[in-house]
Amino acid sequence: MRVWLIRHGESESNAGLPTNGPGASPLTGLGREQAGRVAAAFDGPPDLIVASSFVRARETARPTRERFPDVPYEEWPVQEFTYLGSLHGPSTTAEERRPHVEEYWTRCDPAYSNGGGESFQDLITRGREFVDRLAARPEQGLVAVFTHGIFMRALLWSLQLGVSAPDHADMESFRTFMINSATPNGTIAELRLAGGHGAGVVIGSTVHLTAPSGRPA
């Protein structure tokens, strides 16, 4: 099975606008353009289209669903890491939430749950459960998964290093990995699932987001 992990297009939160909680931010005009370019990147229909329940992921999946209306569509728990909990309040911007973000990552406690938010251990477990769910599927071709940046990086990091029960040092390692890596809006990273539950990263690409003139879209 080939799996395309697709980060959603630019959201209003990415553009610095206020949002009403982690799942409510819609796409911007640029994000909708990026979603269309993702849809155009498919050589043919995938076997299955999956999206998180967050608005920006569902909106990014929409052009692909419209291009391939006969392909089954499902929503899975591949949403973004929601570690701020109640601190991600209504009508707040990413800049306003930044002190809470820095405090969370400075703590680097994999078991810590902040005001009803998800712990880092929860995130890693959710990623592993996602791979298990894929491995149990009957599809043998391409599965398109519209998801989020930190979720993608946490999944790839945990698979590459074999981390399933992170400790403090592991979480610090992931933070360094997250800072030094990037998944721009619209990025496609491919996984390939082998026999059993083995998974390998093949490539991450944004070439489909480049305009014909060679300028970034």
Q: Tens of pLDDT along 30-70?
A: 999 999 999 999 999 999 999 999 999 999 999 999 999 99
Cβ atoms of 174 and 194 within 8 Å: the answer is no
Q: What's the rounded Cα separation, in Å, for the pair 156 and 48?
A: 21
> Tell me, what's the pLDDT at 97?
92
Q: What's the rounded Cα separation, in Å, for the pair 85 and 157?
A: 23
3-state class (DSSP) for residue 64 = helix
> Tell me, what's the pLDDT at 216?
42
Q: What's the rounded Cα separation, in Å, for the pair 142 and 140?
A: 7
Average pLDDT, the chain: 90
Q: Which domains does the chain have, with CATH numbers?
A: 2-187 (3.40.50.1240)
Beta bridge partners of 146: 6, 51
> Tell me, what's the pLDDT at 215?
38
Q: Tens of pLDDT along 133-191?
A: 999 999 889 999 999 999 999 999 999 899 999 999 999 999 999 999 889 999 999 98
Cβ atoms of 186 and 5 within 8 Å: the answer is no
Cβ atoms of 208 and 16 within 8 Å: the answer is no
- CA torsion sign for 22, 24, 28, 34 is positive
Longest pairwise C-alpha distance within the chain: 48
Q: Tens of pLDDT along 78-99?
A: 999 999 988 887 889 999 999 9
Which of 12 and 207 is assigned the larger pLDDT?
12
Q: Tens of pLDDT along 91-124?
A: 899 999 999 999 999 999 999 998 789 999 999 9
Beta bridge partners of 201: 191
**Which pair of tokens denotes residue 61?**
């999946």
State the average pLDDT over residues 15-40. 95
